[in-house]
Chains A and B, each alone.
Chain A
Amino acid sequence: GENVEQHPSTLSVQEGDSAVIKCTYSDSASNYFPWYKQELGKRPQLIIDIRSNVGEKKDQRIAVTLNKTAKHFSLHITETQPEDSAVYFCAAYGTGGFKTIFGAGTRLFVKA
């Protein structure tokens, strides 16, 4: 069935450094790729998304890139801050309607 693989499972960076999280998806019909951030003890919240007709999208310190041919998409966080520490989930949407397939999550630690 459809699958989304996410790497790494844990990422530790120094404050001010960049962080990159990578995902691959299996279903070439997927057309929407959201990223959710879940802080400790809180609910997942959408932080950025990208559609299949776009290669890159930026929102302040956060950017997503999509390579449809390779079925890869990535989250880039620049100038990391301690409040970026959280679990990040990538996801792919688009087949069978309604269903979003989530990656396993990346726990990001930003050390002050």
Chain B
Amino acid sequence: DVKVTQSSRYLVKRTGEKVFLECVQDMDHENMFWYRQDPGLGLRLIYFSYDVKMKEKGDIPEGYSVSREKKERFSLILESASTNQTSMYLCASSLLGKETQYFGPGTRLLVL
């Protein structure tokens, strides 16, 4: 059974703080993704990675960066949190060449 875990379920941060969201998968998946989920907008891709130290911008990368130092771990970084980054953040992973994505439980971030 694929397990994707995220470091926090709920997070409250202040404007301007640096925020780290961590995602870990235990199935040796090559691909990892970060999405944000907002009502009426579905899942929007922020960044993805198809290998260690590789990263690609998604549709809404502004204000975010990522780090993939190990295959199982993909971190999302908000360099200077802003209130418009209040959202649900979902991590996902998939095997290289396979389309099915497995999601983490999500982190609900509130930026005050």
Residues of A within 8 A of B (CB): 1, 6, 9, 32, 34, 36, 42-46, 49, 89, 93, 97-100, 102-105
Chain B contacts for A100, CB-based, 8 A: 45, 99, 101
Tell me whether A102 and B42 are in contact (CB under 8 A). Answer: yes
With known contacts A44-B90, A98-B56, A89–B100 Cβ distance under 8 A: no
Q: How large is the interface on B (under 10, 10 to 19, 20 to 34, 35 or more residues)?
A: 20 to 34
Tell me whether B43 and A89 are in contact (CB under 8 A). Answer: yes
Q: Who on chain B is nearest to A107 by CB?
A: B39
Tell me whether B105 and A42 are in contact (CB under 8 A). Answer: yes
Tell me whether B106 and A6 are in contact (CB under 8 A). Answer: no
6 examples of A-B residue contacts, CB within 8 angstroms:
A1-B59, A36-B103, A43-B90, A44-B90, A99-B48, A102-B42
| Residue in contact with B42 in the complex, picked from A6, A43, A93, CB distance below 8 Å | A6
Interface string of B29-67 (1 = CB under 8 A from A): 001000100001111110010100000101100000000
Tell me whether B31 and A98 are in contact (CB under 8 A). Answer: yes
A24 CB to nearest B CB, Å:
14
A89 to B31, CA, bound (A): 20
Chain B contacts for A98, CB-based, 8 A: 31, 48, 50, 56
Tell me whether A43 and B106 are in contact (CB under 8 A). Answer: yes
A6 to B20, CA, bound (A): 32
Chain A contacts for B90, CB-based, 8 A: 43-44
B43, B48, B103, most chain A CB atoms within 10 A: B43
Tell me whether B31 and A104 are in contact (CB under 8 A). Answer: no
A43 to B4, CA, bound (A): 10
Tell me whether B99 and A34 are in contact (CB under 8 A). Answer: yes
A100 to B50, CA, bound (A): 14
A99 to B35, CA, bound (A): 11
A18 to B58, CA, bound (A): 36
Tell me whether A46 and B42 are in contact (CB under 8 A). Answer: no
B28 CB to nearest A CB, Å:
17
With known contacts A1-B59, A98-B48, A44–B40 Cβ distance under 8 A: no
